[in-house]
Structure 1
């Protein structure tokens, strides 16, 4: 059951003549995680506001489960939850009261049961009677995420969910998002963290200057930065020079003294051939390793474009 939950088609938006979004197209399948990557000012938050009906676009169309968000905002808003960069929890109320209030507003039949269940799921039962103003940043984010699950929404929108969290809290939240996905939830998140997109997303879109400049799976994205490489490090510069000549057919590149790299099209076979050739010619290696491009490399590649 891999039906389309969200369809963003040719969305445009300008502010005072400045084009913030230019023909953005994104499709999101049920039960998957989509990460929209981009630097500050790329237009991520503007797109999320349009997708959730908080802002009108200047063109294009957004549908959630085939419901046009601009024409039927109330109907569409019943299908999703939206967690913004700033947590929407009330600091005066307790964790329990925050969740119970949302359950009531969402017309849950058994609000108490839903509240207790979500507190347990997000490891907040012990702190349920404390005012949220006393919660840590990570706890507030967990509560915010719990609130977003009230009403069993079709899709959850998360705007930079882990900004400002320490590494442990960030990992905890990532695990919870993964858990939500494993239970069939569809998640659309914006982030500046490349590692976050790599860890969580099935599909990634790079938004730059209002356009999606690249999209695909994390592995497909990494191919933009080039092939896997075999890195060879030698003890002596003259060994590196000999290896350059010997391995000429593999188009080696000298990165630094003692160090050359080779693009790996056929990873294992090329590696074995190269190592055999060096052994036969008695060219001693200090070390070697195979490296795969990261999303950081992709980001750098796309930023130059």
Structure 2
């Protein structure tokens, strides 16, 4: 089957004077999916969103959004997309309902009152609908801003850190809305500082580092790349060497020691390794244990491992990345 891409960019570049913000951004987002764009501050995520939404013009490269050329068909791109940025576009002098009806009229959306009511209910704003938006909390204004972006059911929705500053309830409402949108066929490109958010929502993740997409994959694929972390705490410091030998054989990676805690850790990408197997092997080797754990990686681990230094992994494929070290321990095993 041929995949249809709602967002497809090749070699996008953007400079601001001496600052090279984007250095050849390649990105492919399939229709009806959520792509989470992650990266350290200054990696180029917001610049990429501003460029892909026609707010900036690329210096080089090309892109197609909802089938339209980003530069030659910019007006068609704008008709197909909606954007929720880090700053809200809400008029504080209008009520929440009036804001949404205004956006509906601007976009020539029929039945504006019904559409406004539907979105107010979806984002938990019905009770505050007829109060001036200037009295809304920051989280309520964020939800109203997202509701305004959805007034005309866009084909592609760009969300630039949409839940920053929201409480867990408000964040959950936006997560539910994103899931509903993709279920209806909308494509979502999401930049976020919350790795849990990307883990829960994203079908695919693009890790951006120094203006390039350094790695792509599903959350599961990226976690498998980093590997699970095995750790044992021994009752006798003299058994640290034996424990390290067992972990070396089971994980195939060099163990790390934390002598203050009498602990040994190692990273494994072997999905068949289990905690009972680890404990039984240590017991057979005569290693006295106080504790043992086998922790699957989180997206926090992925983010920290793959963006741990300026450009440390930019340009490498998933297969070529070395994941054999652990940042949780202080000293390499001798």
Q: What does residue 255 of structure 2 align with?
A: 253
Q: Distance in 2 between matches of 1:270 and 1:122?
A: 43
Q: Distance in 1 between matches of 2:210 and 2:46?
A: 13
Q: Distance in 1 between matches of 2:39 and 2:248?
A: 39
Q: What does residue 147 of structure 1 align with?
A: 148
Q: Cα RMSD between the aligned structures?
A: 2.2
Q: What does residue 192 of structure 2 align with?
A: 191
Q: What does residue 240 of structure 1 align with?
A: 240
Equivalent residues, number? 304
Counterpart contact for 2:38–2:205, Cα < 8 Å: yes
Q: Distance in 2 between matches of 1:247 and 1:230?
A: 8
More deviation, 238-247/155-164: 238-247
Give the secondary structure class of the aligned counterpart of 1:78: helix
Give the Å deviation of 1:141. Answer: 1.3
Q: Distance in 1 between matches of 2:101 and 2:301?
A: 45
The normalised TM-score by structure 2 is: 0.83
Is 2:23 aligned against 1:22? yes
Give the Å deviation of 1:209. Answer: 1.6
Q: Distance in 1 between matches of 2:175 and 2:58?
A: 31
Give the secondary structure class of the aligned counterpart of 2:308: helix
Give the secondary structure class of the aligned counterpart of 1:144: helix
| 128 and 287 in structure 1: CA distance in 2 versus 1, 3 angstrom threshold | same
Superposition pairs for residues 89-168 of structure 1, below 5 Å? 89-168=90-169
Q: Deviations over 1:210-249 (max 9, x none)?
A: 111112111222344x321221122221233343345653
More deviation, 255-264/43-52: 255-264
Q: What does residue 77 of structure 1 align with?
A: 78
Instruction: Please list every run of 5 or more consecutive structure 2 residues that lacks an aligned counterpart in the other structure.
Output: 313-334
Q: Distance in 1 between matches of 2:33 and 2:160?
A: 16
Give the secondary structure class of the aligned counterpart of 1:196: helix
More deviation, 145-154/289-298: 289-298
Counterpart contact for 1:264–1:270, Cα < 8 Å: no
More deviation, 214-223/201-210: 214-223
Instruction: Please list every run of 5 or more consecutive structure 1 residues that lacks an aligned counterpart in the other structure.
Output: none
Q: Distance in 2 between matches of 1:67 and 1:268?
A: 45
Q: Distance in 1 between matches of 2:248 and 2:216?
A: 34
Is 2:180 aligned against 1:179? yes
Is 2:308 aligned against 1:303? yes
Give the secondary structure class of the aligned counterpart of 2:145: helix
